[in-house]
Amino acid sequence: MPTISTTFPTWLTEWMEAHKVTLWGVADLQDLPTPSDQTGKEFPLAISLAIPMNPQIMGRIHNGPNQAYADEYVRVNNHINQLSTALAEVLKTRGFQSWPLAASVRSDPVKIKGDFPHKTAATRAGLGWIGRHCQLITRPYGSWVRLGTVFSDIELPCGSSVEKNFCGSCMSCVEACPAKALKGRKWYTGSAREEILDVEACDLWKKEHYFQYHKGHNCGICSSVCPYGQKVLKKVDE
């Protein structure tokens, strides 16, 4: 059971501090299908990591992605993969099953999704909520983050799952989306991605207009205009 422990082990908090991971938590996944461990069992929990993007780069792509954003996207994804792999190895050396979920990998190109939604682990870990742009929004960094997920069977205290949307009446991302792929609906726990985002329209627009950036995997306009992200940029520029 992943909720027996009430405090994080010292070695884990020290590991996060040493690697400068400032936003992380643990998600209870017992009621969801997950990838299987080496014994064929599904994982009961996951450690979720939110790594911030450069706010000055993110604040300058409201008219479309650029090379700086494409490079930052790769840099942060690579960093997440290094962190996730390293953490999984530490867990294994301590006798636990673990498996790092790669950042931004589409294992199902038809349905345009990966092996497990990083955002599901993040909301269940209490890191933030899903905005109308179908991305995680955090208090410290807005939606200007990328996510890492490490599945494990270690016993850790799980975060309080975020079940409320804090976007209010804001429609900035919906209005800014050039593909008109955002439906303007509020996220709620258990809502399907398709209720918020027309993923095919989003994917097609990116491939038709921004193919030069990782074969159309980058856009970022909806995230760039998010007020929660803009607050971060204002703090940096002050």
Paired residues of 27 in beta bridges: 46
Give the DSSP H or E segment for 123.
helix 118-124
Tell me if residue 201 falls in helix, strand or coil.
helix
Reference 197, options 216, 207, 184; nearest CA is 184
Given a cut of 80, is residue 5 above it in pLDDT? no
- pLDDT tens, 98-132? 999 999 887 777 777 889 999 999 999 999 999 99
Say if pTM beats, i.e. exceeds, 0.85.
yes
Given a contact cutoff of 8 angstroms between Cβ atoms, the answer to whether 63 and 221 are in contact is yes
Q: b vs e for 118-156, b when ≥16 Cβ sit within 10 Å of the residue's Cβ?
A: bbbbbbbbbbbbbbbbbbbbbeebbbbbbbbbbbbbbbb
Distance between CA atoms of 109 and 167, rounded to whole angstroms?
30
Per-residue pLDDT band at 3 (split at 50, 70, 90) = very low
Distance between CA atoms of 218 and 211, rounded to whole angstroms?
8
- pLDDT tens, 174-215? 999 999 999 999 999 889 999 999 999 999 999 999 999 999
| 109 against 94, higher pLDDT | 94
